Chain A
Amino acid sequence: MKVACLLIPDFAVAVARRDHPETRGRPLIVAAAGEDAPRVRACCPQAVRSGVSEGMVLRRALSLCPKAAVVPADERALAETAAALRTLAERHSPAVEEAAPGHLHLDVRGLAQLAGLADEAYLADLQRAASAASGLPVSIGAGPGVFAAHAAAAAASAEHAGKTGAPPPVLVPEEGVAEFLAPLPVEVLPLPTAMHQRLRLLGIERLGQLAALPRSAVAAQFGPAGARAWDLAAGKDTSTVVPRRPERTAGAAMELPAPASTAEQLLAATSALLQQALEAPALRGAAWRRCTWRLELESGEAVVRVVTFREPTSDGERMLFVLRQKIARLTLPSPGVRLSLKLSGLCGEYGHQAVLWPSGPRRRRELLEAAEQLSARYGEPQIFRVVEVEPWSRIPERQLALVAFGR
């Protein structure tokens, strides 16, 4: 057992069912605001069988499946549930990949032995913890590769459809991957829906049927995606768990010494926090792209402003300049009591080509004087300029040379 897959099938629907138990027994459509009209964000398999699909205008979906219960998408609940599951997985494994919200791959090599458990017991323990963390039945599969684990979780979930609780974990043995995959439907392959449909139109419904075809024929029909699908169906999976890289941030927070409502007070506090955040020893000199400024008010509300800098910067003054405009425009319903800020989007600072003499002869005189002072101080010229000596030469070192600046 090398990889485990935690899967909550139809994640948005599962979360909506959990939060709206009154919809049990009815088809469910999760709706979200579209550009012009409300649209289907997700729907249960029963609604899919009635012809409803993701992205469809809600009015049309309801005409196809009139008995469906409609629930607005609760993005916050979705994000929180996905985060709870992710946090739990990251506590169990050093390498966790989030394929989608509610769908995680964990590198579990050696973890069962480390915990002194058999593989099955370890998976059952992981499943209990995941179900408790998310409040949802979590399917779990494990195998020697990412796809085998995913297929095992999907198979466990499909076999358990219509029943309550979580399906028992499925463990694929290392030497029997192709045999395990053979009877599974082609829909477990990570391919676009259109390709699943094309496979079915060609009479290929199971992975075993796909693997029985010549690889070259599948590749010729479906291109590189087909070749990859054939490899997976034949149990040849070389993919590995690619863990997400946690974003590096810097931040600081303070309780305001007195409830603050004027821009001047807030600016002074912001300036102090910026200085504190930028002085973190591990990240000193780093350039940041984004700043999240959060002011908690006496009334319990919070005012949040997210500022994205035009260029990444490590300069607190420049950050304050941008934040000043946001803070000055604030109208607070009650005084602020706690201020925090978080810098994110760590990256390199842009380089700028400085101009040596941007404003005529006076500037040039100053520069010459500064160059002379440096020469006097160190006993030899310190600033040079590149000159072409023999640009036509075939000998590279004869083409260009440095000459002391000002001579």
Chain B
Amino acid sequence: MGKIVKETTGRVLIASANPLFGKGLKNMFQRRWGGAARVVAVTTTMELTLNAVDELQPDLVILDYDDHAMNRDEFLNHFVSGEQPMQVALISLREAGDVVVYDRRNLTPTQAETWLAAAWLNSLLPGHSEAGGDAGEGNKPG
């Protein structure tokens, strides 16, 4: 506790063994983000992904969770046991359906009090809470 919540998201890790998906996301978001954020790595195995999470400490991880090279349970266990603020977007290449977003934050007691007063308004997307901090599950993007 007592850590300052980061206001900007700057370091992004993309985890997907699918080159068109991983490199496509990297290309697209780097254009959109401009200098505000950068993709620090595109990992293609679970081992590389977990190592990158620990070593690079990204602010956002985009995980292609249906990828056979990835293990979503192993990743989420790793995520839940971590401490640094981090957002995770679970995206499936196999499904054009929902994207699940996890948002882990560290708040001071005062910040938590403010946040709890209207926690549902603080969610990135409308939806219900899940494990690993607060999480919103939104509708599919299209």
The answer to whether A and B interact is no
